């Protein structure tokens, strides 16, 4: 048997996708670095029958490991949640813990309807997300300049500094139409922004990256090329940063940041305050 202090099983139980509970569990468990967590996802638990099966699985796990697993739940229906709570586990009830408190604060009753946070493929909000994803794909890497006036933000920066994942994340998570446009050696020789971007100056946001990290990333793609050489990376990064400073374009370094962190900074700087889907 594994050392009970060093390995623990975590169940994610939800009547919908479980993504909320999963994101939350990951965030809070990252505080317990000494422990290795094995995660088991149990989505779409939307009936008493499925909940009983889930509870049995949790009980089997507790028995096999000789310790109760952690269960993060976003189950909305109190009767379904009760079936899991009665299993041999540490039950962390995200929904139930806060909904009462919120109910009191708001003075209205919750609907207790299942799966409301994902309204499926037919809502306006949802269509906006899909439209934003299509826009970001079509306007990736400056490949399509027509329609840039519809962009909410246009990310600029040297090749491989993180523009594409950030654009896609902004579209996916926030329905933001994020185009991106590369800064290339010709721009640095000329010493000015690509002419295409001139009308959209106020939508521009720059990404940069440490030259040594950029060389690593480019070397994975094109090993030992001039494109990936530290010298070339140093030149491009310094030139891009000089150009952005000169043109007064806000920018940040992506070197040690995740896509989420970069995207959150972009939202702040560009003054967009969208809701997550």
Q: Pick the stretch among 50-58, 121-129, 145-153, 190-198 that binds a second copy (CB under 8 A).
A: 121-129
Of residues 47, 56, 90, 192, which one binds a second copy by CB under 8 A?
A: 90
Please give the full DSSP string across 188-257, using - where no structure is assigned: HHHTS--GGGGGGGGGEEEEE--HHHHHHHHHHHSTT-STT-HHHHHHHHHHHHHHHHHTT--EEE-TT-
Q: Which of residues 176-215 bind a second copy (CB under 8 A)?
A: 213
Of residues 87, 133, 156, 176, which one binds a second copy by CB under 8 A?
A: 133
**Cβ 173 to a second copy, closest distance in Å?**
8
121 in a known ligand binding site:
no
Residue 99 engages a second copy in binding (rule: CB under 8 A): yes
158 in a known ligand binding site:
yes
Q: Which of residues 214-253 bind a second copy (CB under 8 A)?
A: none
Nearest-angstrom CA–CA distance, 201 and 97:
47
Q: Give me the helices (H) in the chain, please.
A: 19-29, 48-65, 78-85, 94-106, 124-138, 163-174, 185-190, 211-221, 230-246, 259-270
Of residues 13, 172, 237, 240, which one binds a second copy by CB under 8 A?
A: 172
**Cβ 243 to a second copy, closest distance in Å?**
22
Per the CB < 8 A criterion, the answer to whether 58 and 72 are in contact is: no
CB nearer to a second copy: give 122 or 195: 122
Q: Which of residues 48-77 bind a second copy (CB under 8 A)?
A: 68, 70, 74, 76
- Collapsing DSSP to helix, strand or coil, 76 comes out as coil
DSSP state of 88: S
Per the CB < 8 A criterion, the answer to whether 16 and 118 are in contact is: yes
**Cβ 132 to a second copy, closest distance in Å?**
10
Of residues 111, 124, 146, 224, which one binds a second copy by CB under 8 A?
A: 111
213 in a known ligand binding site:
no
DSSP strand pairing (251-253 vs 204-208): parallel
Of residues 13, 45, 54, 162, which one binds a second copy by CB under 8 A?
A: 162
CB nearer to a second copy: give 107 or 248: 107
Per the CB < 8 A criterion, the answer to whether 13 and 87 are in contact is: no
């Amino acid at each position: 048997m594994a050392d009970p202090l060093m390995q623990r099983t975590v169940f994610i139980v939800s009547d919908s996708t479980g993504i909320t509970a999963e994101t939350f569990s990951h965030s809070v468990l990252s505080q317990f670095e000494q422990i290795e967590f094995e995660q088991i996802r149990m989505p779409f638990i939307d009936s008493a029958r499925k909940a009983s099966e889930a509870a049995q699985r949790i009980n089997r796990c507790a028995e096999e490991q000789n310790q109760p697993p952690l269960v993060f739940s976003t189950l909305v229906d109190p009767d379904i949640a009760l079936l899991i709570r009665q299993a041999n586990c540490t039950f962390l009830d995200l929904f139930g813990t806060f909904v009462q408190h919120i109910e009191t604060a708001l003075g209205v009753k919750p609907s207790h309807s299942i799966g409301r946070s994902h309204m499926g493929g037919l809502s306006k909000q949802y269509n906006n997300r899909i439209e934003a994803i299509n826009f970001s794909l079509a306007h990736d890497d400056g490949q399509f300049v027509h329609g840039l006036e519809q962009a909410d933000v246009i990310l600029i920066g040297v090749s491989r500094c993180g523009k594409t994942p950030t654009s896609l994340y902004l579209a996916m998570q926030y329905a933001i139409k994020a185009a991106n446009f590369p800064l290339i050696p010709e721009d640095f020789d000329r010493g000015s922004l690509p002419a295409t971007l001139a009308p959209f100056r106020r939508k521009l946001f720059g990404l940069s990256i440490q030259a040594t990290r950029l060389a690593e990333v480019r070397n994975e793609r094109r090993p030992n090329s001039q494109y990936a050489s530290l010298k070339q990376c140093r030149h491009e990064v310094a030139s891009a940063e000089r150009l952005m400073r000169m043109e007064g374009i806000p920018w940040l370094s992506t070197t040690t940041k995740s896509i989420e962190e970069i995207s959150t900074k972009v939202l702040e700087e560009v003054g967009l305050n969208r809701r997550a889907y």
